[in-house]
Structure 1
Amino acid sequence: MRTFGKWLGRVLLALLVAAVVIGLWKREEIARLLAVNSLFSEEKIVHNFSHMDGAFLSVPVSRGDGLTSELPYGPETELPETVDDWIAARDVTALVVLKDGAIVYENYFNGTGPEDRRISWSVAKSYLSALVGILLDEGKIASLDDPVTKYAPNLEGSAYDGASLRNVLHMASGVTFDEDYLDYDSDINRMGRVVALGGRLDDFTAELTETFAEPGSQWQYVSIDTHVIGMVVRGATGRGVPELLSEKVIAPLGLEHAPYYIVDGSGTAFVLGGLNMTTRDYARFGQMFAQGGQWNGKQVVPADWVTASTSPTAPTAEGQIGYGYQWWIPVGAAEGEYMARGIYGQYIYVDTARDVVIATNAADRKFREAGVAEQNIEIFREIAASVSGGT
């Protein structure tokens, strides 16, 4: 009996040592997984959204060697009283309004500040779209109708075999992907755990095999489509998205603070939602689009791509919000009215006719409730009219 007790003690000690060793070896992965599981908790969400590099692997996006180009300030403008109620209800953390390219309103809330580099979530998709337009213009990508497997051959035999670049830009791949953020076992949350634990998103994507429709026949918002766009960009150029975005978009804009991307275990950028930058710099990107893709006299994004990507050409249902190439077009939009949009209340809203750009970040845990998205658009329209003299 005493011998058995000694044996059991040795076994337990060995297991304890093994647990400690594994814990030390995997402590970063475990810490990231714990951070992901509490990412959207009420008491942590505001802090987390300004410090995503504390929960995930990340890489900097260079601002380039050019001079920082500070946004000018115009006459300070009071916004409609309804905006204050909206800020409180939607847990807005930052609001920057540009009129004619100058800041006419800027404010930060919930203990955040102007230098916070905030998570874009799906606003990042519109940045990748801009990069695609540039690469098309340069001839690096031959056609929107090229199959994605031309540039990403490891997708052959997957659910994406047969889909074109245009299909994935339109969110019309027909690939089955559960995007329920409230379901722990949904595809989008499984994907988040892959990123947190240092897995490879390319492998995750190639393992998808189910489809619900023929490519191009039906619109359904599927975030993994944007990762496929990133795979196409990398395959067409042999370069990573952070490096390309820095060279083609970020450096020409003269950002005030260097952005960063969340990356997976292979260092591949989380292009569907992992870009982080200041709210002023989100507004700067929107202003460049409002100017037809120009900044400081340079054509950064081809003008025809600005028009094409922000036009409602995707096969969305009649009477519903429109979609272009990774940009949203509100119901009843005026010409040149469109937006980038991310979960929990991230927006870049552009009203080209009024030359108004609104960038806002939030930690809105009720963003999915009925009517919230429509209310946000109405507030943006109200702000745009107000800073334009009510016209």
Structure 2
Amino acid sequence: MRSFLKWTFRALLLLIVIAVAAGLWKREEITRLMAVNSLFSEEKIVDNFSHMDRAFLTTEVPRGNGPTSPLPYGPDAALPPGTDDWVEERSLTSLLVLKDGEIVHESYYQGTSAEDRRISWSVAKSFLSALVGVLLDDGTIESIDDPVTKYASLLQGGAYDGASLRQVLNMASGVTFDEDYLDFNSDINRMGRVLALGGRMDDFAAHLTETFAEPGETWKYVSIDTHVIGMVVRGAAGKPVADLLSEHIIQPLGLEYAPYYVTDGVGTAFVLGGLNLTTRDYARFGQMYAQRGAWQGRQIVPADWVDASTEPSAPGGAGYGYQWWIPDGSAPGEYMARGIYGQYIYIDTARQVVIVTTAADRQFRAPGANDQNVDMFRAIARNL
């Protein structure tokens, strides 16, 4: 009996040692998973959105050694009635308004500041679109009508086999992907856990097999399409997206602070929503687009790509271009980059107005929330 108890004790001790060792070995993954589970909680969301590098693996997007490009201040703008209520209701953390390239309003809320690099969420998609335009112009990508498998062979035999780059730019791949952020088992949340646990995003995309429509037939917003665009970009150029974005977009813009991407376990940038910049640097990108791709005397993004990518070209009359949103009733040159929880870069080319908001709006899915934001952007633009 004594021998049996001794053996049992040793076995239990060994199990405890193994469990502790496994816990230490997986500590970073467990920490990231716990961070994901509380990322959007009411008491943490504002701070989390300013410090995504605490919870995830990241890679810097070098800003280079050049000077910061000027973003001068103009006369303070009188904002339209209802602005303060809107700021509170939509839980804004920053609001910046440019008129003719000058800052006419800049404010920060909920303890955030101008130095905070805020998470872009899907605003990042529009940055990737800009990069595609540059790579098309220099011949790195031959045509947006090329099949995505031409540059990303890993996708052969999966759901994306047969889809063109144009179709994924338009969110018209026809690939089945559940983007319900409130469903723990949805594809978007499973993808988030792959990211948090250090998995490979490319494998996640390649293992998708189901489609609901032929490529190019139907518009449906599925964020994994943007990851596939990133695979195409990397495959065509033979470089990481962070390096390409730095070289072609970020360094020429002369940002104040180096952005960073959230990455997966092998350093692949989370291009569909993992870019982090300050509010002013989001505004620089927006102003460059308002100037049809020109900045400080240099054409950064081809003007014809700016025009084409911000037209509503998606099938079925959707207000969507190549990773840019075109709101209902938009005038020519009126479009926006848009991310969950209230991140926006709104551009009114005719009025030369750019509006940036960052937010922690946990009610962003409420009926009318997006329309309310667009209405306020238009009211601000008209008021200047």
The alignment's TM-score, normalised by the length of structure 1, stands at 0.97
Asked if the contact 1:316–1:322 (Cα under 8 Å) also holds between the matched residues in 2, the reply is no
User: What is the match of residue 63 of structure 1?
Assistant: 63
CA distance in structure 2 between the aligned counterparts of 1:107 and 1:14, rounded to whole angstroms: 57
2:299 maps to 1:329? no
Q: How big is the shift at 1:8?
A: 1.7
Aligned positions of 1:1-391 closer than 5 A:
1-317=1-317, 322-387=319-384
Secondary structure, counterpart of 1:347 in structure 2: strand
CA distance in structure 1 between the aligned counterparts of 2:211 and 2:226, rounded to whole angstroms: 16
Q: Which amino acid aligns with 1:264?
A: D
CA distance in structure 2 between the aligned counterparts of 1:296 and 1:45, rounded to whole angstroms: 36
Q: How big is the shift at 1:11?
A: 1.4
Q: Which amino acid aligns with 2:115?
A: E
Secondary structure, counterpart of 1:85 in structure 2: helix
CA distance in structure 1 between the aligned counterparts of 2:103 and 2:343, rounded to whole angstroms: 18
Q: How big is the shift at 1:81?
A: 2.6
CA distance in structure 2 between the aligned counterparts of 1:235 and 1:250, rounded to whole angstroms: 21
CA distance in structure 2 between the aligned counterparts of 1:266 and 1:124, rounded to whole angstroms: 20
Secondary structure, counterpart of 1:329 in structure 2: coil
CA distance in structure 2 between the aligned counterparts of 1:138 and 1:64, rounded to whole angstroms: 21
Q: How big is the shift at 1:9?
A: 1.2
CA distance in structure 2 between the aligned counterparts of 1:230 and 1:365, rounded to whole angstroms: 28
Q: Which amino acid aligns with 2:331?
A: A
Q: Which amino acid aligns with 1:234?
A: R
Q: Which amino acid aligns with 1:258?
A: A
With 294-303 and 17-26 compared, the bigger mean Cα shift is at: 17-26
Q: Structure 1 residues 355 and 175 mapped into 2: Cα distance closer, same or farther (>3 Å)?
A: same
Q: How big is the shift at 1:349?
A: 0.1
Secondary structure, counterpart of 1:370 in structure 2: coil
Deviations 1:60-84 (A, max 9, x none): 1101121111310000112123110
**RMSD across aligned C-alpha pairs, in angstroms?**
0.7
CA distance in structure 2 between the aligned counterparts of 1:25 and 1:187, rounded to whole angstroms: 27
Deviations 1:338-365 (A, max 9, x none): 0000000000000001000001000000
Asked if the contact 1:98–1:356 (Cα under 8 Å) also holds between the matched residues in 2, the reply is yes
Asked if the contact 1:136–1:143 (Cα under 8 Å) also holds between the matched residues in 2, the reply is yes
Q: How big is the shift at 1:249?
A: 0.3
Percent sequence identity over aligned pairs: 72
CA distance in structure 2 between the aligned counterparts of 1:56 and 1:245, rounded to whole angstroms: 20
Secondary structure, counterpart of 2:172 in structure 1: coil
Secondary structure, counterpart of 2:68 in structure 1: coil
CA distance in structure 1 between the aligned counterparts of 2:6 and 2:181, rounded to whole angstroms: 49
Q: How big is the shift at 1:116?
A: 0.1
Asked if the contact 1:76–1:105 (Cα under 8 Å) also holds between the matched residues in 2, the reply is yes
CA distance in structure 1 between the aligned counterparts of 2:380 and 2:6, rounded to whole angstroms: 75
CA distance in structure 2 between the aligned counterparts of 1:19 and 1:44, rounded to whole angstroms: 30
| Runs of at least 5 residues in structure 1 that lack an aligned partner in the other structure | none
Secondary structure, counterpart of 2:210 in structure 1: coil
CA distance in structure 2 between the aligned counterparts of 1:348 and 1:261, rounded to whole angstroms: 18
Secondary structure, counterpart of 1:323 in structure 2: coil
CA distance in structure 2 between the aligned counterparts of 1:156 and 1:306, rounded to whole angstroms: 30
Deviations 1:122-177 (A, max 9, x none): 00000000000000000110111000000001100000000000000000000000
Secondary structure, counterpart of 1:284 in structure 2: helix
Deviations 1:262-315 (A, max 9, x none): 010110000000000001110110100000100000000000000000000001
| Runs of at least 5 residues in structure 2 that lack an aligned partner in the other structure | none
Asked if the contact 1:327–1:338 (Cα under 8 Å) also holds between the matched residues in 2, the reply is yes
Q: How big is the shift at 1:12?
A: 1.3
How many aligned positions are there? 384
Q: Which amino acid aligns with 2:335?
A: Y
With 268-277 and 2-11 compared, the bigger mean Cα shift is at: 2-11
CA distance in structure 2 between the aligned counterparts of 1:31 and 1:270, rounded to whole angstroms: 19
The alignment's TM-score, normalised by the length of structure 2, stands at 0.99
